[in-house]
Amino acid sequence: MDTQCDRKTLDEILEKHQYNPGNIIAILQDTQEVYRYLPKDIFPYYSGKLGISQAQIFSIATFYENFSLEPKGKFVIKVCDGTACHVRKSTAILEQLRKELGLSQTKKTTDDLLFTVETVSCLGACGLAPTLTVNDKVMGMMTPQKVSDLLVTLREDNADAEM
């Protein structure tokens, strides 16, 4: 078992869902809420506890886009690239985030696991374009300078929370 995954936490999640294999999606959602991704060691553990194959659990985890098999940062930033945001320069916002965080199209999470930057097709806040979310909180009318200010604020908030 991965040192990041403790059986007590996983058993609490399973207990909450009465060890019902029919609740596997909710079990995976709760697991991801705790770890911010689905660690590989949960697959054999849940398979043994629920009596379903690792392949079945893995296929569910990879079918739904909301699940991640890679660690995500404490702050998940999703940049909208829908039409309204794109024409209002969402690409410049994405480029600013990647530049300041040392990320790229393939490297989405910072090494310190503080930030993950992703793009999404639409956030449904077109009137506020260009938009992004930070842990699902919508922030509109973004500019590269607002992105820089936002990163400073998030880093400060994180430092304060760790004290």
Instruction: List, in sequence order, every beta strand (DSSP E) within the chain.
Output: 75-80, 115-120, 132-134, 137-139
132 found inside a domain: yes
Distance CA 153, CA 147 (A): 10
Give the model confidence (pLDDT) of 6-29 as tens digits. Answer: 899 999 999 999 999 999 999 999
Residue 54 and residue 108 in one domain: no
pLDDT exceeds cutoff 90 at 79: yes
pLDDT digits (tens, 9 = 90+) for 131-146: 999 999 999 999 999 9
Bond into 130 cis (ω within 30): yes
Count: domains in the chain = 2
- Which CATH number belongs to the domain containing residue 107 in this structure? 3.40.30.10
Is 1 inside a domain boundary? no
Is the Cβ–Cβ distance between 24 and 60 less than 8 Å?
A: yes
Distance separating alpha carbons of residues 14 and 2, to the nearest angstrom: 17
46 and 124 share a domain?
Answer: no
Tell me, yes or no, whether 55 and 106 share the same domain. no
58 and 96 housed in the same domain = no
The DSSP call for residue 79 is E
Question: Is the pLDDT reported for residue 30 higher than 80?
Answer: yes
Residue 2 lies in a domain: no
Model confidence at 93: pLDDT above 60: yes
Domain shared by 94 and 143, yes or no: yes
State whether 156 and 131 are in the same domain.
yes
Model's pTM, two decimal places?
Answer: 0.81
Same domain assignment for residues 151 and 81: yes
* H runs (alpha helix) in 37-89: 42-50, 54-63, 83-87
Q: Which domain holds residue 13?
A: 7-63
